[in-house]
Structure 1
Amino acid sequence: MRTIAHISDLHFGRLDAPVAEGLIADLAGRKPDLLVVSGDLTQRARRRQYADAMAFLKRLPSPQLVVPGNHDIPMFNMAARFFTPVRKYRQMVTRDLRPVYEDEQMLVIGLNSARSFTRISGWLNREQMAFAEARFAAAKGKFKVLVTHHPFFPPPRRPDANVIRGGEKYLAALSAVEVDLVLSGHLHLAYHDDLRSHFKASRRGVLSIQAGTATSTRRRGEPNAYNWITVSPQLCTVAVRAWAGKAFEESLVTRYESDESGWHKIQQVPIDQVGAEVMSDVNKQ
């Protein structure tokens, strides 16, 4: 069994400071095997924002796997945006745009889906996919996880939301190398489902898990939240831990089981009363 703390969309520059401190406190009492950060560490890719984000990440558990998001590319400096889009990210976060975590049970690969030529959208190129396919193919018998900033499909409540371009064309490759999970953020909406429910041509189930914004004031009608994910062969539990005003609390737990036909939801514990009240208050804002 392995545990992953999945946070996303920190947006330093639009930070809710009490929530950020609450996240530090919540994770201090937990020991994930891996902390995944699926992009948008900053609001405008400024050096000060990167410095603050890195100081924050140093207070969170390790090991960590981090990928950039579209907000981690300069917005207004056109020369930097098109010629050196991830220079600050590589200087201040990591030079590795294909980070890999591997242990005896799990292989996790991060890929950069942020692109200079679009303000919001993202995609993966053939070189990135070839790298991931080769590493996943060699990891026989391990639980396999891909991390991108942009999700592969929108949640039902936002069917028009911006997602990764050409997501369906990647599915055959992901299925062939037996990827189990795809972790992403970007939309600031917590959601998870089997890719097969959206892309009928997919031959193998891949569970897509999207995280809300962990610490930003840029909430989209939901409280700040992150995912606590437990994985083992053919099993995955996703617990959404949401900000309840003074601390993060477990608000929704979903358990999935996989077989040859894909992932199947076997149990879902509804949002508790505290979580429901928080969401109600947020939706009124």
Structure 2
Amino acid sequence: MSSLMHLSDLHFGAHDPEVCAAVQRLALRLSVAMVVVSGDLTQRATAVQFEQASRFIRGLQARSTLVLAGNHDIPLYALWMRWGRAYERFAEQFGLEHEMVRQAGDFYVVGVDTTRPWRHERGSLSSAQIEHVAGLLEQAPQGAWPIVTCHHPLVPRNAEDRAHRPRRAEEAVKRWQAAGARMLLSGHAHDPGLMLAMPGVWVSRAGTAVSHRLRHGSPNSLVVLTAEASGASATGMVRHAARWDYDRSLGEFQPVLRVVVD
């Protein structure tokens, strides 16, 4: 069995060290093959906060990591950096691949950057990005789990979500479904959830992983994807998505929902 841990909205600078330690313990216990972080690593995009986020992610000891920037990772008050240098501090710790691919175990993950320095909070996708990601999905190895991740939610659950979606989201989801995507990972809304968006395509929205900036009455939350061999499945594999919430009384993350996503 191989596992992928999906985290989002770490917001270092507004983080809870005890929750950070609990995430690291869980990652080590599960021996995760890959960690995907779908943006907002920092609260105010300072060099110190990026270094804290980088140290935390290294402590998860995953064999592979895919880390995206979120809107909070663009300097808000350092206006001299917003034009031409918006991702400079992020890149010092994580590099700067706007569309990236990672493969580990059974997971084939394509990351796409929906942030825009001039929009700050809202996101966007270009037609070129949509086609580039589709091309990468079409190259997925046979039998791999094709996954796309970005910061902003692509599929709305309510009216508030529609405002959070990046421009061209609907076009992107349809194109990526046709190209083979079977799971979409996002964050931004601080509202965890798992749902079937359309035939064959599931959506995982991670909550706030380690920050005290909680919303919607949800605790700190993350998602774990697993793939394991199964003779009962026509594909020979069974895939699960599980939501894990932080239980403050125990000081640990506990599974609260697990669904089959084949």
Q: TM-score, normalised by structure 1?
A: 0.81
Percent identity reads 28
- The verdict on how the C-alpha distance between 1:106 and 1:52 changes in structure 2, with shifts beyond 3 A counting, is closer
Q: Distance in 1 between matches of 2:155 and 2:174?
A: 16
Cα 1:193–1:151 change in 2 (3 A) is: same
Which residue is 1:215 aligned to?
A: 210
Indicate whether 1:136 and 2:132 are aligned.
no
1:33 maps to 33
Farther-moved stretch of structure 1 (160-169 vs 19-28): 160-169
In structure 2, distance between residues paired with 1:140 and 1:50: 33
C-alpha distance in structure 2 between counterparts of 1:205 and 1:144, whole Å? 11
> Per-residue deviation at 1:107?
1.6
Quickly say closer, same or farther: Cα 1:61–1:104, change in 2 above 3 A: closer
User: CA separation of 1:95/1:119 partners in 2, compared to 1, >3 Å: closer, same or farther?
Assistant: closer
**C-alpha distance in structure 2 between counterparts of 1:159 and 1:41, whole Å:** 21
2-structure distance, mates of 1:119, 1:50: 18
Greater shift, 177-186 or 75-84, is seen at 75-84
Correspondence 1:83 to 2:84 = yes
Deviations 1:16-65 (A, max 9, x none): 11111111122121112211111110001101101111111111122111
Supply the distance in 1 between the matched residues of 2:146 and 2:196 (Cα, whole angstroms): 15
Divergent runs of 4+, >4 A: 156-161, 232-235
Other-structure match for 1:58: 58
Partner of 2:231: none
Matched residue count: 250
Maintained 8 Å contact 1:66/1:99: no
Separation of aligned partners in 1, 2:186 and 2:174: 19
CA distance in 2, matches of 1:230, 1:54: 24
Amino acid at match of 1:42: T
Paired residue type of 2:26: D
Q: Could you give the per-residue CA deviations for residues 228-269 of structure 1, whole angstroms, max 9, x where no partner exists?
A: 112465743221111101111112222233xxxxxxxxxxxx
Are 2:245 and 1:242 equivalent residues in the alignment?
yes
The answer to whether residue 256 in structure 2 is matched with residue 251 in structure 1 is yes
Is the contact made by 1:161 and 1:187 (CA closer than 8 Å) also made in structure 2? no
CA shift for structure 1 position 158? 4.8
Amino acid at match of 2:244: R
1:82 is paired with a residue whose SS is coil
Structure 1 pair 42–33 and aligned structure 2 pair: CA distance change class (3 A) = same
Unaligned stretches of 5+ residues in structure 1:
197-203, 258-285
Give matches, 1:1-285, under 5 Å.
2-62=2-62, 63-103=64-104, 105-141=106-142, 142-156=144-158, 158-159=160-161, 162-196=164-198, 204-220=199-215, 221-231=217-227, 233=235, 235-245=238-248, 246-257=251-262
How far has the Cα of 1:195 moved from its partner?
Answer: 2.2
Comparing 18-27 with 37-46, greater Cα deviation is found at 18-27
Q: Distance in 2 between matches of 1:33 and 1:93?
A: 18
Residue deviations 1:163-194, cap 9 Å, x none?
22221111232022111111111111111222
